[in-house]
Structure 1
Amino acid sequence: MTTIADRLANAHLRIAQAAQISSRDSEEIKLLAVSKTKPISQILAAYHAGQRLFGENYVQEGELKIIELRPSCPDIEWHFIGPLQSNKTKIIAEHFDWMHTLSREKIAKRLNDQRPEALMPLKVCIQVNISAEQSKSGIPPQELMSLARVINALPRIELRGLMAIPTATDDIAIQRREFAQMKVLFDQLRNVYPSVDTLSMGMSNDLEIAIDAGTTMVRIGTAIFGSRN
């Protein structure tokens, strides 16, 4: 029976192999373990296997996990990667280290105003709806620079990059095209804002293509923790 430690090691191996094929340094690519719906025991199993970056999709669930684990695991870096309503920004601002799904000026200003002075600025990624699907969150590419300017002017949040969820398809050509479009946007943003260093894209089923396209952070859940509860 494979353990979470085994699956985590395999995920790192996939990243290393994909990086080698793409002539990239695997150290440039971070693994974000997506622990939504998973119990504390499984997060601890990954933690004791060396994992430190964890992603949560649900506000209250993430808050409870952080409160429980922060005293004993203070070096966990908590990333919020789900949709966020404006009435729940305070929880993200007070508890999380990163927020990947920022796509509205109103949310940016609320996160900034609610971020405690005692904490480092909240690191944020702008979510881009690269597939132009109405069912998905994120801004259209042409609005990226406008939102980036707003974020850059806010002192309690820090613009670090972009995040995308491309079309759910087995068509590799579509995957490659959308990942490549994200890399172009990322490079454009990075040329303007020196703090930008994170391109969050690629998951369990497409991480190799994302790495070839230039991602710096892959979000892996199923391949580490198994199917969603």
Structure 2
Amino acid sequence: MTQMTESNERLNAIQKQIAKAAKQAQRKAEDARLIAISKTRSADEIRPLLDTGHRLFGENRVQEAAAKWPALRDEYDDVELHLVGQLQSNKAEDAVALFDAVHSLDRPSLIKALAKAMDKLDRHIPCYVQVNIGEESQKGGCAIADVPSLIASARSAGLEVAGLMCVPPSAVNPAPYFALLAKLAKDSDLPGLSMGMSGDFESAIKLGATYIRVGTALFGERA
């Protein structure tokens, strides 16, 4: 019960922050959906948040998600699971079978693999193009200049491109990067913006985020 109380308190605190940021931006709080990032968290750590009624979760790795989420989904109805980490092309079929959205579409080979997997499984899930918004060599995502052509390729392959995703550089003001992603999305007539994490989601909401990805602030510091 204590774990559920802590989860409730953390969730309520974040929901209040979401509502405040949305109000300041003259947006509805429900237009910025909260993805609880449960990577590296055990099923026992995840259950208290599920018990609060939260149903939207994100994972970074296909293999890790496959080890815990099928059983959790048997216990809890209506769970929505998003892949927010890098996806290897050879894991595309597993990802399509397990996840309800992919936030890390970043290259032509992955477009091909996902399209093939979706056709094979007859399961078509929305994808977000991940943009290397800070042009950092160590991060995934397509180059800013390649965004239009990658979107066009994905659409031609029959994928549903729902929006763009980014992870701004750390230790700098993220707002200009969120604003740039919003402009790129608008230029391509994309409604979805997956941006903002535990430390900067309020800024992301003010700049149009439709999905924010929060882990530590919901689950606490990792052991």
Normalised by the length of structure 2, the TM-score is 0.93
Match of 1:80 in 2: 83
> Paired residue for 1:226, among 203, 220, 223?
220
Alignment of 1:1-229 (within 5 A): 3-115=6-118, 120-155=123-158, 157-169=159-171, 171-172=172-173, 175-190=174-189, 196-229=190-223
CA–CA distance in 2 between the matches of 1:41 and 1:123?
Answer: 29
Q: What is the letter of the counterpart of residue 158 of structure 1?
A: E
User: Bigger CA drift: 117-126 or 137-146?
Assistant: 117-126
Displacement of 1:213 in angstroms is 1.2
Identity score, percent = 36
Normalised by the length of structure 1, the TM-score is 0.90
User: Bigger CA drift: 146-155 or 179-188?
Assistant: 146-155
CA–CA distance in 2 between the matches of 1:125 and 1:12?
Answer: 24
Structure 1 unaligned regions, length at least 5: 191-195
Contact kept in structure 1, 2:96 and 2:123, CA below 8 Å: no
Q: State the superposition RMSD in angstroms.
A: 1.6
Runs of at least 4 residues off by over 3 Å: 116-120
CA–CA distance in 1 between the matches of 2:16 and 2:45?
Answer: 20
Give the secondary structure class of the aligned counterpart of 2:47. Answer: helix
Deviations along 1:154-209, one digit per CA (max 9) or x if unpaired, are 23x3111100000101x43xx1111110110111122xxxxx43100001100111
Q: What is the letter of the counterpart of residue 214 of structure 2?
A: I
Aligned residues: 220
Structure 2 unaligned regions, length at least 5: none
Displacement of 1:71 in angstroms is 2.2
CA–CA distance in 2 between the matches of 1:123 and 1:77?
Answer: 12
Displacement of 1:57 in angstroms is 0.5
Contact kept in structure 2, 1:93 and 1:112, CA below 8 Å: no
Contact kept in structure 1, 2:125 and 2:160, CA below 8 Å: yes
